[in-house]
Amino acid sequence: MSHYSEDIVFYSPFVVKLAGAPSGALRGKVSLREYFSKAFQAYPDLSFEWGRLFFGTQSFVLEYQSVLGRRASELFILGDDDKIREVRAHYADDQAAS
């Protein structure tokens, strides 16, 4: 969790399902830690297969295969301290979080 800023904002369709947040957003490192804990409980065999990494300016996108074989990519936006301040998770349209 050390690579996330204290005021991280994390968006994912899975947030709706696992955290019960209709907006799909979590705010703060404590909320994100709790969400990750729920994810590991819901998917005890959770693993990721890394794909490609795309670099931008103060950001990067990671493409990977996610839980239950879903194709995914996440946009990470970095703060001035180079810690992750925002994450936006995306899933293939035929594989929405369900």
Domain enclosing residue 84, as ranges = 4-91
For residue 45, what is the domain's CATH number? 3.10.450.50
Long-range contacts of 71-76 (CB under 8 A, 24+ apart): 71/95
How many domains are there within the chain? 1
Per the domain annotation, does 96 fall within a domain?
A: no
* Conformation bin of residue 28: beta by default, left when phi > 0, alpha when psi is -120 to 50: left
Taking the C-alpha atoms of residue 37 and residue 45, their distance in angstroms, rounded to an integer, is 13
Residue 94 is predicted with a pLDDT of 63
**Mean pLDDT value of segment 60-65:** 96
76 — phi, psi (to 5°)? Answer: -115, 125
Helix then strand count (H, E) for the chain reads 2, 6
Per the domain annotation, does 83 fall within a domain?
A: yes
Task: Report pLDDT digits (tens) over 5-59.
Answer: 999 999 999 898 888 888 999 999 999 999 999 988 988 888 889 999 999 999 9
